[in-house]
Amino acid sequence: MSDSVQRSTSIAARAARISRKLGGLSHAQRCEYLRRFSELLRQEAQTIIAENKEDCRAAEDIPAALRSRLAISLQKLDKIIEYPLSILQLDDPLNMLQVNTMLDDGLVLERRSVPLGVVLFIFESRPDAFIQMVSLAMKTGNVLLLKPGRESLRTCKVFFELLTKVTKELDMPSDWCFLLEERAEVHELLRCDDHIDLVIPRGSNEFVRDIMKHSNIPVLGHADGNCHIYIDTDADMELTKRIVVDAKTQYVAVCNAVESLLIHKDRKNDIPALIDVLSSKGVTVRGDIGSQKVDARVIPAEEEDWGMEYLDLVVSLRVVESLDEALECIHRYGSKHTDVIITENKKNADMFLRQVDTANAFVNCSSRFSDGYVYGLGAESGVATGKIHARGPVGLEGLCTYKWILRGQGHIIGDYAGTGSFKHKNLLS
Amino acid sequence: MSDSVQRSTSIAARAARISRKLGGLSHAQRCEYLRRFSELLRQEAQTIIAENKEDCRAAEDIPAALRSRLAISLQKLDKIIEYPLSILQLDDPLNMLQVNTMLDDGLVLERRSVPLGVVLFIFESRPDAFIQMVSLAMKTGNVLLLKPGRESLRTCKVFFELLTKVTKELDMPSDWCFLLEERAEVHELLRCDDHIDLVIPRGSNEFVRDIMKHSNIPVLGHADGNCHIYIDTDADMELTKRIVVDAKTQYVAVCNAVESLLIHKDRKNDIPALIDVLSSKGVTVRGDIGSQKVDARVIPAEEEDWGMEYLDLVVSLRVVESLDEALECIHRYGSKHTDVIITENKKNADMFLRQVDTANAFVNCSSRFSDGYVYGLGAESGVATGKIHARGPVGLEGLCTYKWILRGQGHIIGDYAGTGSFKHKNLLS
């Protein structure tokens, strides 16, 4: 075993051991931790801002969009300080009695929510993701292995010092949260599926795809955010313009921005008005032949355009024959993140909602609403586009699993093998 | 692309398309299907038994344990015919309103359960698994790709013919259930993660491990069932003997049979009495030095014994210093399937239940109870030892995911970017 493999295995094994203790903390203890952490963040606001400025200075050569995610203003810090507080106010996600069945006299089954165990969180540039994830992990009793991007390391180190201080003050299991600094370590940790239960990556598509490829551990998240808006025959055009402009331009660098517009052929003549508002916001439209014929401003789209996550002031546009064809396009080119129908027709809306295979299916509103905070989950560890475990914005629930608990009084299966049967009395209702 | 890759990709893509229609069936339609299927199984009982006899005749060279799983007696068939009926009686798992939040006036969020989509079920020898899985899949609106073992193919083909008959009679989407006969096809299908949502393997450890290794798709199930029973200082010895004998001998070839006994050092002197009852049932005990010292019948265990799933009349035995050491052994050698404490001490029981990292944590009863039917889930697609998505016996819930649905009236995120905030009014309670 090489040194780095040995070190990673030992970090992971240790994390698994600590996790078995962390799950025993009461909700009051976990909340007190979050309260105190938020308090220290406020006290040390100046240090945080100063170190973040250093990070930003050193990162002058990274793209502007990433730099803006890296920077923490006083206003942004105010929001960050609120994360632990908003999460501590939520109900305890642990020890929830999900199933309670009397199988027979004296033989009672329970299913209770428990922490997953050890979560590896790997993120790029956004230091506020650190605070969100620490808050979610402490609330759910999970041990956290954190790997920030190099560019936010100074900021994250301040956060980590404050967190270590709280851990000591409150006599919590030390190293319940572990800061990783070496990329090579992460690579090895991705193979420690014996000890690590979940990997959550946040960053660029390539970054997430690379982690998904190299991990033996289940990965929760999304690589692409290729969101569609379908403009139905019965769409209100004023409402359409308002939604499309918001979904495309309010923040272009995010995963829930719209990347592709599908418009019913009966509404082809509304394309120029739509392009008017988009152009006025600086958006370029790349479209199919149908849309090119209606408006000369449409740039011919290549095949790659249909699956493209532009993250920029560009959108693709296609004229479709029917709602069915729209669904076909979404299933072929979309990424199962967020997909929207605009229509005044309830039947079409319902058909769309039922048939579209996506994490977030919307009617008559902007794709930009798919977000854990917006949904009232307190915060999110990310948006998952897979269908296993958790889907869409992932809050506390995605960091929990459950355990089946059966209490008997010497019960054996032999007594039920012949004619004996179970009572299955639901004790919950 | 080779022919077999092309064929597999086309099967998978077609299954994904059908799945989007299948999700639209009403609960009444899905239940009617199960009722009619059960009816046909009863009508064709003689054919089923006859074809199964052919399967058994051709499988004379397979191990006795497998042959006994393959054979369908009239009595066993009676049970099989009940599967679809017991599942149709359960509540509809689809379209359940799990979250309902008013985000703002006219902007309402729902989270509703939906089918996963396409499930690939690969199983060995037990033809009754076919009926269980078909019942679970139809109830949850999932398209099913079924690959039975070669040895049960004749029996499964009868089942499949009946199923096809019901599909036609009730005008259901044809090919919602697809029978695979070629092993090579399965190999290719395991890479179709674009179209297949979940793989459920049932069979020997090597079989399941091989599938887990080659699949790009999430796999639900377990390779090993290495179950432990810990006999605490405060264990009742009569109850212990009863439980241990049942857990080891009632059915040795199953995953929830006990494979390892841990006994507290204070109860060392009870080892001979325990070995008396085990020996009388033909069980060999392989133990550590501590247990060898107390009883000469204990055969020295090798290091491999501790992680071994014997599936035979053999059990390992180890003397431990404490509950903590017992937990350490379970976490080191167990497979997170089912683990039991025998104790009259409530504090120790609670500590065990809280700290043991296993799907099924039991007190004072046999490990053999961890089963979907026993738990009242109607049936099970298998027992999962992972912590992601579903854990322990997996019934209907494990075959569902959910979709977030947001209905607005032209709402845009721009209106909330500044000071605007959400109402987050829970409409469920």
pLDDT digits (tens, 9 = 90+) for A312-370: 999 999 999 999 999 999 999 999 999 999 999 999 999 999 999 999 999 999 999 99
Which residue matches tokens 């344990």? Answer: B65
Measured distance CA(A283)–CA(A289) in Å, rounded: 19
Q: Find the range with the poorest average confidence among A50-54, A223-227, B174-178.
A: A223-227
Read off the pLDDT of each residue in A158-173 and give the average, rounded to a whole number. 97
Q: Name the 3-class secondary structure at B299.
A: strand
Arithmetic mean of pLDDT over chain B: 94
pLDDT band per the 50, 70, 90 thresholds, residue B423: very high
Smallest Cβ–Cβ distance between B408 and the set A363, A393, A404 belongs to A363
Q: What is the dihedral of CA B325, B327, B330, B333, to 10 degrees?
A: -50
Instruction: Return the higher-pLDDT residue of B63 and A190.
Output: A190
Burial status of residue A282 (CB atoms within 10 A of its CB: 0-12, 13-18, 19 or more)? exposed
Which residue matches tokens 């109850």? Answer: B239
**How many CB atoms sit inside 10 A of residue A406's CB?**
27
pLDDT for B138: 97
Residue B360's DSSP bridge partners are A404, B338
Measured distance CA(A239)–CA(A230) in Å, rounded: 13
Outline where A44-73 has alpha helix (H).
Answer: 45-58, 64-70
With an 8 Å Cβ cutoff, is B209 touching chain A?
no
Residues 6+ apart with CB under 8 A from B260: B226, B227, B228, B229, B306, B315, B316, B317, B318, B329, B333, B334
Residues of A in contact with B327 (CB under 8 A): 20
pLDDT for B419: 57
> Per-residue pLDDT for B253 more than 90?
no
Q: Find the range with the poorest average confidence among A75-79, A92-96, A239-243, B377-381.
A: B377-381
Strands (E), B64-166: 97-104, 107-115, 118-123, 143-147
- Taking CA atoms, A133 is separated from A126, A224, B145, in Å, by 12, 21, 38
Q: At what angle do helices B153-169 and B27-43 cross, to 10 degrees?
A: 130
pLDDT for A36: 98
pLDDT for A300: 98
pLDDT for B382: 87
- Residues in chain B, how many? 429
Domain residue extents for chain A: 3-91+114-220+394-402, 227-369
pLDDT for A420: 61
pLDDT for B329: 97
pLDDT digits (tens, 9 = 90+) for B122-144: 998 789 999 999 999 999 999 99
Chain B: residue nearest A415 by CA? Answer: B246
- Residues in chain A, how many? 429
pLDDT for A45: 97
Q: Find the range with the poorest average confidence among A123-132, A322-331, B329-338.
A: A123-132
Residues of B in contact with A247 (CB under 8 A): 412
- CB contact at 8 A, B270 and B244: no
Strands (E), A105-241: 107-115, 118-123, 143-147, 177-179, 198-202, 227-231
pLDDT digits (tens, 9 = 90+) for A30-42: 999 999 999 999 9
Residues of B in contact with A361 (CB under 8 A): 403-406
> Per-residue pLDDT for A266 more than 80?
yes
Contact B406 A117 (CB under 8 A): no
Residue A117 zone, left/alpha/beta (φ > 0; ψ -120 to 50; rest): left
Backbone angles phi, psi at A123, to 5 degrees: -140, 160
The CATH classification of domain B3-91+114-220+394-402, taken from the options 3.40.47.10, 3.30.1960.10, 3.40.605.10, 2.60.120.680: 3.40.605.10
What count of CB pairs under 8 Å joins A to B? 230
Tokens linked to B269:
């002197």
- CB contact at 8 A, B28 and B36: no
Instruction: Return the higher-pLDDT residue of B259 and B214.
Output: B259
> Per-residue pLDDT for A419 more than 60?
no
> Per-residue pLDDT for B230 more than 90?
yes
- CATH no. of A227-369: 3.40.309.10
Residues 6+ apart with CB under 8 A from A142: A19, A22, A115, A116, A117, A118, A119, A399
Smallest Cβ–Cβ distance between B376 and the set A101, A357, A391 belongs to A101
> Per-residue pLDDT for B4 more than 90?
no
> Per-residue pLDDT for A145 more than 70?
yes
Q: What is the dihedral of CA A20, A23, A29, A33, to 10 degrees?
A: 80
Residue B3 zone, left/alpha/beta (φ > 0; ψ -120 to 50; rest): alpha
Helix then strand count (H, E) for chain B reads 14, 17
- CB contact at 8 A, B247 and B227: yes
pLDDT band per the 50, 70, 90 thresholds, residue B420: low
With an 8 Å Cβ cutoff, is A410 touching chain B?
yes
- Taking CA atoms, B259 is separated from B66, B69, B340, B357, in Å, by 19, 21, 12, 17
Chain-centroid distance, C-alpha B2: 34
pLDDT for B398: 93
> Per-residue pLDDT for A1 more than 80?
no
> Per-residue pLDDT for B315 more than 90?
yes
Chain-centroid distance, C-alpha B305: 25
> Per-residue pLDDT for A4 more than 70?
yes
pLDDT band per the 50, 70, 90 thresholds, residue A117: very high
Read off the pLDDT of each residue in B58-75 and give the average, rounded to a whole number. 87
pLDDT for A310: 94
> Per-residue pLDDT for B246 more than 90?
yes
pLDDT for A240: 98
Residues 6+ apart with CB under 8 A from A83: A38, A128, A131, A132, A135, A379
pLDDT for A418: 62
pLDDT digits (tens, 9 = 90+) for A292-328: 999 999 999 999 999 899 999 999 999 999 999 999 9
Rounded (to 5) percent helix, strand, coil in chain A: 45, 20, 35
pLDDT for A49: 97
Backbone angles phi, psi at B286, to 5 degrees: -110, 115
pLDDT for B48: 97
Q: Name the 3-class secondary structure at B264.
A: strand
Q: Find the range with the poorest average confidence among B4-18, B41-55, B412-426.
A: B412-426
Strand order in the sheet with B360-365: A425-426, A97-104, A107-115, A400-411, B360-365, B338-342, B227-231, B258-264, B314-320, B284-287, B299-300
Arithmetic mean of pLDDT over chain A: 94
For CA atoms A347, A351, A354, A357, the dihedral sign is negative
With an 8 Å Cβ cutoff, is B63 touching chain A?
no
Looking at CA atoms only, how far is residue B15 from chain A in angstroms? 13
- Taking CA atoms, A245 is separated from A281, B20, B41, in Å, by 8, 30, 58
Read off the pLDDT of each residue in B213-217 and give the average, rounded to a whole number. 90
pLDDT digits (tens, 9 = 90+) for B152-197: 999 999 999 999 999 999 999 999 999 999 888 899 999 999 999 9
pLDDT digits (tens, 9 = 90+) for B272-283: 999 999 999 999
With an 8 Å Cβ cutoff, is A23 touching chain B?
yes
> Per-residue pLDDT for A382 more than 90?
no
Chain A: residue nearest B393 by CA? Answer: A404
pLDDT band per the 50, 70, 90 thresholds, residue B224: confident
